[in-house]
Chain A
């Protein structure tokens, strides 16, 4: 993508050819020139949309009524133009350009790429599913998605099996609609959740499920494209009109990832037991207790808990001492610890192997990846524990019966982070946690802040007011002065305080 000056050039008659469908795979970058104003606005508004997609993804069941309503509203807001209505062409153009701008901001690190791909996929899935069946087929044809249809005889012979494997399939549907035979490698989401019939390495996909295949394709293409974008990024970043916006965009999402250790060494090992009861979120309290009781934790637990401890400020030496003293009480002798486990602790602190400084897991990561199995204590208790056992545990930790019920209700509604927030409120005896929980280390920091009386009530009020400003009003004239730009960019943060 090129960013020459501010001259406008018209693409003209190729308008209709360019955007022949309301959805696209974003295969070709936009070739026109746009103003910096439009550049900013488009980027910021799409980012707001993607952030909503993310929030709705954890707080609602996808495709539930609530999810649909809210996402619909946000999408309409995105396409809304204050002038007299907006043409279909303009909508598609905005979609196209804003996507490509965000690629620039989100291609740089693995984490950013992963986040961007996840939200774009969720958005695409929603919009594709919303399409009329005819438009779906249209889209597939226009994008050369090849799939083999299953013959009528084969369909008949497999009918019962197809109905038993795929959601929403009936005998008539199998007869009347196409079923596609796709190599299982191209249908991984359906295979993973066992929502498809497999035979001899092929997945048999009914027409209405074809979106999953499309999504896989989307993900692969976007992933490759982002890698390529990252390589040409230095050229873009050297443009000083764009640099502040791009770096702020990617920073705005990430917020705090607790990778940079603050307060190293301010926590002593003796304090940990007490802290686990007062300031640890339930998942870490659970892991700590299991470690103390069994003098051992499996890999998943060591990673989740170990990185959390790093995030709260344990130094490498402290961590080694901590794990060693615990494991040695168990079946592991000091020698074996030094040989086998010490390596992995140092690895966590970036002192071995790839020397990546691993970041403590966010709630999303804990909830969504690596579910615990037999013998594991990691994961999110609100997500992974049996409700009965969770109830018992909360009662053991002296949470009131009414509080426990509130938490269980939230768990039922799959609002795991809200449930944890409620746990925070109940154990700290406050009405409102005052923050939107998305990271275990955030829980710890907020708890410590509260317990040491450091919370600034006035600041909270300011924040909530600013987030209610109309985002569209933040289109500013271009800045001549980069310092001024930087100050005004500060306002961007208010978009991303959770409402």
Chain B
């Protein structure tokens, strides 16, 4: 099961200041949220919320420069950091604004996939626990949603982030995505939802003929993983109780077929029969298809955990996930704050001389350079690289758009 030892919590007061002083990738973070400076005051009008020691929660934090962001974070040492919307005015001054005019204008389109939402279909863990057996569900979720958001909706700039404990988040950062209305966000989330029903609903997936291309695409992803995940790892046919759960999803007339249900062969042989295809698809989807919380995606002003923040209960950093390495991503390998702080302390021989020379230059630049060298010495490095690539892609795309625009305006 997941989770660093509970001593992580106790160490946070010591580790967090170090993390924010020397490891948090502020310059990339600022670069991200400025979005190329195309919109005036985009960073300045962004809401952040902090959870401080002793569970003190403060909203409407905003900063005018990267420097101010750093100073404040180093001063307040937040345990949790959430990112909210870009507002019409600086959030820190919202009380001074005439009532009714302070409004959330834009925000990334976000998705939150939480493992607890799958409790009714996973046998290995429940609640906040995760393990390598159920992590496959996140892999499936990412593959399905990433494809749909890119191919169906035409989005290009998606940042997938490990939440630090039991799920993943997706930040869709395209211009068009940030400008979406509440209704549009809700429509996208509902388009992507196939699991319907709460405690009282047994059969949560109902497919009708013909099957929409989106569902077909999703099914082909699920099929790739289903055998290994559900039959082998989750062993859904391995006990009477879990077999009964599967049977509960079948229509009555199928139960009259004499079958030996403890065999994987049941699924493959039944699968040949076209008429049962829909039912089996429904079962596979119910066990594996991503479960989204529509409410998270709907709200323009919804606050979501920030990438590179720490998860206080596990000590793990919310790191970006490299989709090229998705199959080998292991949440238990994600660095914890104690690990990277420890790695920081390890001396490196070749560095000693460089420090002296460079310190004579501008203090701030030296600090920043040191910080950049710092995270590179730790396990955080590879994740910051993923983030860098993501930022590069957005920068290139912005450049392309500006060229297009200036061509149209004959601006040279």
Contact = CB atoms under 8 A, between A and B. Distances in A.
A200 B190 contact: no
Contact of B191 (A164, A185, A192, A371): A192
A117 B55 CA distance: 43
Most buried by B among A189, A200, A377: A200
Contact of A198 (B152, B200, B293): B152
Interface string A358-388: 0000000000001111111111010011101
Band of interface residues on A: 35 or more
Interface residues of B, number: 42
A161 B201 CA distance: 31
Contact of A191 (B151, B187, B201): B187
Nearest to B120: A374
A376 B197 CA distance: 9
Interface in B266-292: 291
Contacts of B203: 386
Contact of A372 (B117, B184, B198, B291): B198
Given A384-B197, A386-B203, A201 B212 contact: no
B194 to A, nearest CB: 9
A185 B155 CA distance: 13
A412 B392 CA distance: 55
Given A199-B151, A375-B116, A194 B200 contact: no
A163 B187 CA distance: 21
B154 A389 contact: no
B188 interface: yes
Contacts of A386: 197, 200-203
Contact of B201 (A185, A189, A339, A385): A385
Contacts of B187: 184, 188-189, 191-192
Given A373-B117, A373-B291, A379-B198, A164 B152 contact: no
A42 interface: no
B190 A192 contact: yes
B151 A389 contact: no
A373 B197 contact: yes
A497 interface: no
A192 B57 CA distance: 35
A202 B176 CA distance: 13
B55 A198 contact: no
Contacts, number: 111
Contacts of A373: 117, 195-198, 291, 293
A339 B55 contact: yes
B210 A164 contact: yes
Most buried by B among A189, A198, A372: A198
B190 A193 contact: yes
B412 interface: no
A384 B153 contact: no
A23 B9 CA distance: 65
A389 B199 CA distance: 10
Contacts of B181: 185
A394 to B, nearest CB: 13
Interface string B320-363: 00000000000000000000000000000000000000000000
Contacts of A202: 154
Contacts of B188: 191
B184 A188 contact: yes
B344 to A, nearest CB: 33
A329 B196 CA distance: 30
Interface string A384-398: 111011100000000
B153 A201 contact: yes
B136 to A, nearest CB: 18
Contacts of A378: 198
A66 B212 CA distance: 29
A388 B202 contact: yes
Given A164-B213, A198-B214, A389 B180 contact: no
Given A192-B187, A339-B55, A384-B198, 15 more contacts: A161-B213, A164-B212, A164-B216, A165-B213, A185-B181, A192-B186, A194-B215, A197-B213, A201-B152, A339-B57, A372-B197, A372-B199, A374-B118, A375-B116, A386-B200
Closest 8 CB pairs of A and B: A201-B154, A372-B198, A192-B187, A376-B198, A198-B152, A385-B200, A188-B187, A200-B154
